[in-house]
Amino acid sequence: MATEPAVKSIQLSHRTITLIGRYQEMEIDLLDRQTLLFLFRQMLRLRRMEEALMQEYHPADEMRCPMHFCIGQEAVPAALSLLVEPEDYLFSHHRSHGYYFAKGSPLRELFAEVYGKETGANGGKAGSQDISHHASRFYSGAILSGAVSIAVGAAFGLQIRKSRNISIAGFGEGATDEGAFWEAANYAGLRRLPILFVCENNRYATYSDQLKRQPNDNICERVVTFGVRTRRIFGNDVVKAYLTLREEMARVRGGEGPGLVEAYTYRWNSHVGPEDDNVNNYRPASEIQFWKENCPIRLLQEKLEAAGYLDSQTLGRMEREIAAEIAANFQFAKESPFPSAGDWRAMNWDDSSPLADRLLGAQSRSEFDQSQPEARLEPY
Ligand SMILES: Cc1ncc(C[n+]2csc(CCOP(=O)(O)OP(=O)(O)O)c2C)c(N)n1
Ligand SMILES: [Mg+2]
């Protein structure tokens, strides 16, 4: 009987990944019990939060924005949540909840935001895919790869200020369909910027297979040519995700220049909203089945139980605590008032920029001649 290939023996790619069957390579011995339980709890919190938001979305229809859920993709955010520092910057794409969660930004403000309430992270005016939380240095954006470019700018700023903090850009493989992504990778490599690119490669951009958009699905092989270190991992192995991200973040923080981690993973839910979109027939049932069998939470849970680190009592307590937290977040969001309509300008616009004013004020103006003729090329 043919034995199933292990991830170690194949070139990781969506083309080959389903050949491994059930993933067998998680090495919990590499981490202590406390870290493992924390990773497990974080994944469970994120899963339950997303499930609750999906369940509540209809028929109540009280949430005010489209939402891109991340069920099945909990490992990378959980790992990041243990590693990112408060003064680091974290930028995310439209599928923002996992990254918002990873940055430790207040979850009740995410709930209030999606309900369009004044107490939301952005006063209820940004919604899920553009949510930011300035105080915790978290920013997301719906323009594909837009936040990646801004993350590179933030990294440049950190480098100029000789900060030990880093910038992290979380995005999907679809961001690499955009030219802006390659400009960002190029500049990061050129200036050796303190940035970590985290690509959750879930194979699809809306309903479109990466292998119909790009000649291959190994983004790291192309990014490395820009002078960015790259690693690729089975993205549902939270231990591997944690260790890889820890190492790469330490290298970026230590001044070794930019890195990219490509994590192969999968979203169980539809591209957007709680409705099932498999009616479009864009993903084979066997592929969905493979990824559900390799649920990142279940993979770790089985190992924890076998090691005697997790029993049903502890799990039950965890579930109750998480349910209470989610209920409190819903209550906060629902009881909060809507914003007043009058303050749009105040939220989006600021006439003053003390830092820019100071920097410009310090510039020498000796070469600036207000009376000089405007130079124009003929025939314009
Ligand atoms: C510049 C731009 N073009 C197109 C879109 C429409 N759009 C929204 S999400 C998406 C697919 C994103 O796929 P990916 O980056 O892989 O992230 P995933 O949704 O799989 O997490 C597209 C094309 C957009 N938001 N921005
Ligand atoms: Mg994708």
* Tens digits of residue pLDDT in 226-244: 999 999 999 999 999 999 9
**What single DSSP character describes residue 55?**
H
Report which of 65, 135, 64, 62 is spatially closest to residue 94, judged by C-alpha positions.
65
Q: What is the pLDDT of the chain when averaged over all its residues?
A: 93
Q: Which structural domain range is residue 215 located in?
A: 26-341
User: According to the model, what pLDDT value does residue 7 have?
Assistant: 82
> Can you tell me the mean pLDDT for 29-56?
98
Instruction: Judge whether residue 308 has pLDDT over 60.
Output: yes
Mode of pairing for the β-strands spanning 195-201 and 204-205: unpaired
Please choose from 145, 206, 291 the residue to mutate so as to test ligand 1's pocket, defined by most ligand atoms within 8 A of CB.
Answer: 206
The reply to whether 373 falls in a domain is no
Least confident of 161-165, 176-180, 260-264, 355-359: 355-359
Ligand 1 close to Cβ of residue 262 (< 6 A)? no
- Interatomic CA distance for residues 166 and 103, integer angstroms: 13
User: According to the model, what pLDDT value does residue 1 have?
Assistant: 45
Report which of 182, 195, 197, 360 is spatially closest to residue 263, judged by C-alpha positions.
197
- Interatomic CA distance for residues 257 and 191, integer angstroms: 8
User: According to the model, what pLDDT value does residue 380 have?
Assistant: 42
- Interatomic CA distance for residues 168 and 274, integer angstroms: 28
Tell me what percent of the residues of the chain surpass a pLDDT of 70: 92
pTM over 0.75: yes
Sequence letter at residue 99: Y
Tens digit of each residue's pLDDT (9 = 90 or more) over 241-254: 999 999 999 999 99
The reply to whether 85 falls in a domain is yes
> Can you tell me the mean pLDDT for 167-193?
98
Tell me what percent of the residues of the chain surpass a pLDDT of 90: 84
Question: Contact 199/261 with Cβ under 8 angstroms?
Answer: yes
Please choose from 73, 144, 199 the residue to mutate so as to test ligand 1's pocket, defined by most ligand atoms within 8 A of CB.
Answer: 144
> Can you tell me the mean pLDDT for 57-83?
97
HEC string of 215-271 equals CCCCHHHHHHHHCCEEEEEECCCHHHHHHHHHHHHHHHHCCCCCEEEEEECCCCCCC
User: According to the model, what pLDDT value does residue 139 have?
Assistant: 98
Tens digit of each residue's pLDDT (9 = 90 or more) over 92-107: 999 999 999 999 999 9
The reply to whether 366 falls in a domain is no
Instruction: Judge whether residue 116 has pLDDT over 50.
Output: yes
Q: What is the CATH number of the domain that holds 176?
A: 3.40.50.970
> Can you tell me the mean pLDDT for 182-205?
98
pLDDT band at 377 (very low <50, low <70, confident <90, very high): low
> Can you tell me the mean pLDDT for 341-360?
72
260: left (phi over 0), alpha (psi -120 to 50) or beta: beta
Neighbours of ion ligand 2 (CB under 5 A): 172-174, 202
206 CA distance to ligand 1 middle (Å)? 7
The reply to whether 277 falls in a domain is yes
User: According to the model, what pLDDT value does residue 360 have?
Assistant: 72
Sequence letter at residue 75: A
306 CA distance to ligand 2 middle (Å)? 33
- The residue that leads in pLDDT, 64 or 290, is 290
State which ligand 1 atom lies nearest to the alpha carbon of 173.
16
The reply to whether 40 falls in a domain is yes
The reply to whether 349 falls in a domain is no
How many independent structural domains does the chain possess? 1
Residue 229 main-chain phi, psi, to 5 deg: -65, 145
Who contacts 82 (Cβ-Cβ below 8 Å, separation ≥6)? Answer: 35, 38, 39, 42, 242
User: According to the model, what pLDDT value does residue 291 have?
Assistant: 98
pLDDT band at 54 (very low <50, low <70, confident <90, very high): very high
The reply to whether 4 falls in a domain is no
Ligand 1 close to Cβ of residue 205 (< 6 A)? yes
- Give helix 75-83 / helix 33-57 axis angle, nearest 10°: 130
- Interatomic CA distance for residues 165 and 112, integer angstroms: 29
The reply to whether 51 falls in a domain is yes
Ligand 1 close to Cβ of residue 94 (< 6 A)? yes
